[in-house]
Chain A
């Protein structure tokens, strides 16, 4: 064995990597971390506050009786608590995150820096409008970008997320129908079977009835069925269609679909979740769309934050624009920006207010920063590179996996599980990718493809990264085709093994409760 002059070994002996138990429960760099409630005490605090003066309170007796009993942590303990937990998360900053339909692209740090300028982060939604002219101008500038990129005349900025934008669009359709005197009769909304679950859920939230349309063999709307469903038009409120659709394909007949719906007296809601594939190359306004939400957290790079906050501004056609929600920003003749906050005057036909205040300002700052960084030229390149990357992945994997549909895809490549041996499922492939150091693709969605695997690389991946990923997935796919049973136990190398979801749902434990004292528990 090699030694240095102190006699310390300098080369590693070969040992087995078999399970090594540790006393601490930590595993090297992966530190054990218990729940806050197991490590903190109610006496501990990580903030130093002045002592209250002891004034007589003016609560009129409406005072809390039982203390929360919540534990605190000192600052160093708190930092370690969250830092250790963070080590159990995969993230786009760490590696490739090809989660289809979710557009996990790089989140530029400049966006974060700009969002933290006190002039944006430290202003109140109800302070006098004269003191927030820069904020209103920012909203107006972002609105201009969104209208220009989509070719639509109007945009509602207040929706808080994609699904909230869908709600915004469908409420505008509802209001337009009411204005036409057809609010009670036009209740049927056509929704393709491949749609995001939010589409039918949103339609129902607005009092509509969902009528599902099948996909054809090419993964697009089945036009024969659509025509059949439009035989009767009196009850048609509209269609909710994702484009590019959830199979990662452009709806070839989209203009005809728009014409048919309009001829039937309905409106065309487009789910804009996949706008990243066409931004700068196609304007939804040129396709006959009446309303479309835009996920700023997908196409325009605002961070997903482990499940929000999102932001879902919704663009409208001339036909629906009058019904858009309040508030919105307008510019007066004197050059001052003004918020229209009530259903009155400029907004007399508005369907109302969806939310307190003016929308996700923090996300607006990030999205506009991103747009200015890319510019009109860069955004076009974004779409092209996103689509090129997806087609490259599809081309590299189509010999070992089963593409769901023939031909080129848009921004995501979709495979079915037809190539796997009996007993090996999509989830096994997904979990094996974790061991290879990747976040899995979207699995079992869209529902129209058996055992679907939806891979969205986005434009912010290099060719080298894609090649490494394809090498890994190719190898896993071959093992899946051969029926390699070891896949069923994956992941082996993650911070946790597969979790028992059935147990979690059967008897839900949604919060920590103090364990019974041992003497009692033992009885």
Chain B
């Protein structure tokens, strides 16, 4: 078997050195009734590369790739172009096949890229400090809420009606398990208005999102002010990191914690994972942050170097008193993010954001101009919601027959909110004029 270097002679000679008769000797502590005699039934035997490749390719062929034609699905994950260089960098063995940098003398490569990543995330979100990444945006959001409760020593968490429902669900789950109270505001397509009024003296944090799940961009400064007056924190969430090039970032709105999804920069769609959660906060909250942090220091020769730091917050030191149970971050996805961001630079990101926004503006004109279609999102970055005169599921199915993947039906995310005729639609720099024309033409036929 190609991944196993030991030969039968090796095994025999090693057993002799050890003084064991066979590998069975090592399993003597296993209760007799649980020892399997033969290999496990019901699974195939080993196969060569060619056979495995055939099987996997067959499965892959049963999926419609986003690049295969007009594609307008967003709502938390976005089809962007990733430069070839990014994939080359993350396939370097030295990054791909190494562990968490626990031995910094031989991990400065990983550590320096994490330090650069943290600096980039802090600048993009306009926050003071960022961590070395989280699993994804939804878990970053959940961790932000419980961190706010830790900081304020309060137990009420208020979630906006524009927060991505998956983020809301993940946050509610973690908060309620810790005995916190979660208040979910009613669905808000066109802004986060209710959030401002909802804060009271028991509130640990309000969680707002801009652009929200319906694409609406909102200035949360008023929410921040109202939260701060009551001693609460603002957690500002985003699911589309490219928006940070153009839209008011969390730090400019007075957010205390920023939590978001970084997939859009450097990472492919991958059917939902792995992605990379971005997490940043104000400096004074730094020691309450979850996840890994990389910090600057010097080595014994006084040369600059980097190490994982403030680990006294973390589970491997603090065990039951840790700020979070998180161990792994999303290292390789963070590397993809930072590499792509390095290729873009600040100007490149701004330009990319403008291209996204313009594609969405043109799409909104093309679809919103159709008789019977209502554009529900008043201010947007690269996605918006439309209402169609026909049931959204039927519309999307017919669009699909015309070769257009037209978006996400809102009822898939909000099954109980009477949004059966609403579709969430996204455009990016990958969207062409032909794609937009194809969508508009097909939709016109359907309605």
Contacts and interface: CB of A to CB of B under 8 A. Distances in A.
Say whether A associates with B: yes
Interface string A57-73: 11111111111111111
A78 interface: yes
A206 B178 CA distance: 6
B413 to A, nearest CB: 8
Of A162, A409, A504, which is in contact with the most chain B CB atoms at under 10 Å from its CB?
A504
Contacts of A387: 23, 26-27
Contact of A463 (B10, B102, B247): B10
B387 interface: no
Interface string B159-201: 0000010110110111001110000000000000000000000
B149 interface: no
Contact of B298 (A125, A149, A360, A503): A503
A487 interface: no
Nearest to A249: B29
B433 to A, nearest CB: 11
A118 B67 contact: yes
Contact of B76 (A82, A94, A357, A460): A357
Nearest to B293: A510
B100 A55 contact: no
Q: Is the interface of A mostly helix, strand, loop or mixed?
A: loop
B351 A52 contact: yes
A304 interface: yes
A353 B174 contact: no
A347 interface: no
B20 interface: yes
A462 B4 CA distance: 8
Nearest to A75: B85
Contacts of B405: 124, 127-128, 131
Contacts of A47: 83, 343-344, 348, 352
Interface stretch (A229-237, A315-323, A494-502, A515-523): A494-502
B298 A500 contact: yes
Interface stretch (A3-11, A101-109, A262-270, A474-482): A101-109
Interface stretch (B227-235, B267-275, B434-442): B267-275
Contact of B217 (A59, A167, A380): A59
A425 interface: no
A64 B167 CA distance: 24
B53 interface: yes
B347 A45 contact: yes
Interface range for B: 35 or more
Contacts of B107: 88-90, 306
Contacts of B326: 161, 163-164
A161 B44 contact: no
B307 interface: yes
Given A63-B247, A75-B85, A203-B320, A86 B95 contact: yes
Contacts of A141: 59
Interface in A346-380: 351-363, 365, 368-369, 371-380
B273 A362 contact: yes
Interface string A267-307: 00000000000101111001100000000000001011111
Contacts of B292: 307
Given A52-B358, A112-B91, A361-B271, A72 B60 contact: no
Interface in B329-380: 329-333, 335, 339, 341-352, 354-355, 357-358, 361-362, 364, 378-380
Contacts of A384: 23, 26
A281 B39 CA distance: 7
A391 B64 contact: no
B53 to A, nearest CB: 7
Nearest to A408: B26
A68 B77 contact: no
A121 B246 CA distance: 27
Contacts of A91: 93-98
A282 B34 contact: yes
A121 B343 contact: no
A377 to B, nearest CB: 5
B124 A462 contact: no
Interface in B129-185: 129-130, 132-133, 135-139, 164, 166-167, 169-170, 172-174, 177-179
Contacts of A311: 274
Among B139, B174, B179, B327, the most chain A Cβ lie within 10 Å of the Cβ of B327
A255 interface: yes
B285 interface: no
From B5, B58, B178, name the one whose CB has the most chain A CB atoms within 10 angstroms. Answer: B5
A216 interface: no
Contacts of A86: 92, 94-95, 109
B396 A68 contact: no
B26 A308 contact: no
A138 to B, nearest CB: 5
B60 A148 contact: no
A139 to B, nearest CB: 9
Most buried by A among B44, B68, B123, B342: B342
A130 interface: yes
Contact of A499 (B6, B87, B105): B105
26 contacts: A37-B116, A47-B348, A59-B247, A68-B123, A85-B108, A88-B106, A90-B107, A93-B96, A112-B91, A114-B52, A119-B62, A128-B405, A137-B59, A145-B43, A161-B327, A198-B325, A281-B27, A304-B99, A358-B272, A374-B46, A394-B18, A408-B28, A459-B3, A460-B4, A510-B130, A510-B296
5 shortest A-B CB distances, which residue pairs?
A72-B345, A119-B60, A357-B272, A134-B62, A305-B332
Given A167-B325, A201-B319, A378-B4, 5 more contacts: A49-B352, A59-B379, A73-B342, A197-B315, A357-B273
